[in-house]
């Protein structure tokens, strides 16, 4: 396994107004940002040997840099149009702090109350830092001097509670039961500047997609989790643009087995095969 060094700060509480809340109102909501600095291999050996924090990346400084940036915009009345705009600011602040020591910056923004009936909604973007050789190739191609890199995006809907008429036993056909559903959307890498990450031109309304899935469930019934999960995978791919390359759906029935927490099925489907 390759040597990896990471410094991170988990769940920084930020006073940011992003798009709209779960009721469609342009109001501030709870925002948690986690920042992961993927450093060059063995970078942390120096601090691990000297036991001197100045030989590392100070996560306190990272937290202050991110918080100060968002606080300043909040005081100025700046309203983020979407999660990607906030992630772009946080990514830029992280790269400015760490300098040449990072190979990539990964930012995860959680909006715990963004989607009704779900315990969480998160957007994760990993942006690699362009190297000198990559920048030279970009210059030859007529791209920006800062280089063009491929940022990967993963969107998660966590613990969505769906009332499903499902099961093969006669009692299960009489009433709906809770199915706990987790969905992961993997977007194809978008090419952007590592110094100035920008959102895609076509943003996806994930809360609207979840609402469509809920309606699909209410209008249907199933005998097996396998059928339900496959239908959800296909519905997710149909409802999203072509740059959503892969969808993973995991469904659990907490009430299926008396002496087990849950039984479940998980499937991953790519766009070319999933429809």
138, pLDDT greater than 50? no
**Residue 183 in tokens:** 């969905």
Supply the pLDDT for residue 34.
97
| Domain 150-191+205-274 fold | GTP Cyclohydrolase I, domain 2 (3.30.1130)
131: DSSP letter:
P
Supply the pLDDT for residue 142.
38
Give the pLDDT mean for 150-166. 93
CATH architecture of 1-114: 2-Layer Sandwich (3.30)
- 203-251 pLDDT per residue, tens: 789 999 999 999 999 999 999 999 999 999 999 999 999 999 999 999 9
Chain-centroid distance of CA 49 in Å reads: 35
Q: Write down the residue that tokens 């791209």 correspond to.
A: 143
Give 16 or 94, the one with higher predicted confidence. 94
- 25-82 pLDDT per residue, tens: 777 788 999 999 999 999 999 999 999 999 999 989 999 999 998 888 888 877 888 8
One fold for 1-114 and 150-191+205-274: yes
Domain boundary assignment for the chain: 1-114, 150-191+205-274
- Rounded CA-CA distance 98/105 in Å is 10
Q: How many CA atoms lie within 13 A of 121 on its CB side?
A: 19
């Amino acid at each position: 396994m390759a040597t990896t060094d990471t410094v991170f700060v988990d769940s920084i509480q930020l006073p940011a107004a992003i798009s709209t809340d779960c009721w469609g109102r342009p109001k501030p909501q709870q925002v948690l940002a986690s920042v992961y600095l993927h450093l060059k291999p063995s970078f942390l050996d120096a601090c691990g040997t000297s036991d001197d924090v100045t030989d590392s990346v100070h996560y306190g400084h990272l937290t202050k840099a991110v918080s100060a940036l968002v606080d300043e915009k909040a005081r100025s009345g700046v309203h983020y149009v979407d999660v990607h705009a906030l992630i772009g600011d946080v990514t830029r602040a992280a790269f400015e702090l760490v300098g040449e020591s990072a190979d990539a910056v990964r930012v995860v923004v959680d909006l715990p109350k963004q989607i009704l009936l779900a315990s969480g909604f998160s957007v994760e973007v990993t942006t690699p830092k362009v190297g000198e050789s990559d920048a030279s190739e970009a210059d030859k191609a007529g791209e920006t001097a800062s280089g063009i890199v491929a940022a990967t995006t993963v969107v998660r809907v966590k613990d969505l509670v769906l009332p499903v008429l499902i099961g093969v036993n006669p009692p299960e056909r009489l009433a709906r039961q809770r199915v706990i559903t987790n969905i992961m959307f993997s977007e194809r890498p978008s090419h952007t500047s590592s110094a100035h990450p920008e959102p895609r031109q076509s943003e996806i309304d994930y809360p609207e997609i979840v609402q469509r899935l809920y309606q699909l469930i209410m209008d249907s019934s199933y005998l097996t989790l396998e059928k339900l999960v496959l239908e959800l995978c296909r519905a997710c791919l149909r409802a999203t643009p072509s740059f959503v390359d892969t969808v993973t759906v995991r469904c659990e029935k907490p009430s299926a087995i008396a002496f087990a927490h849950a039984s479940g099925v998980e499937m991953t489907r790519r766009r070319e095969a999933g429809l």
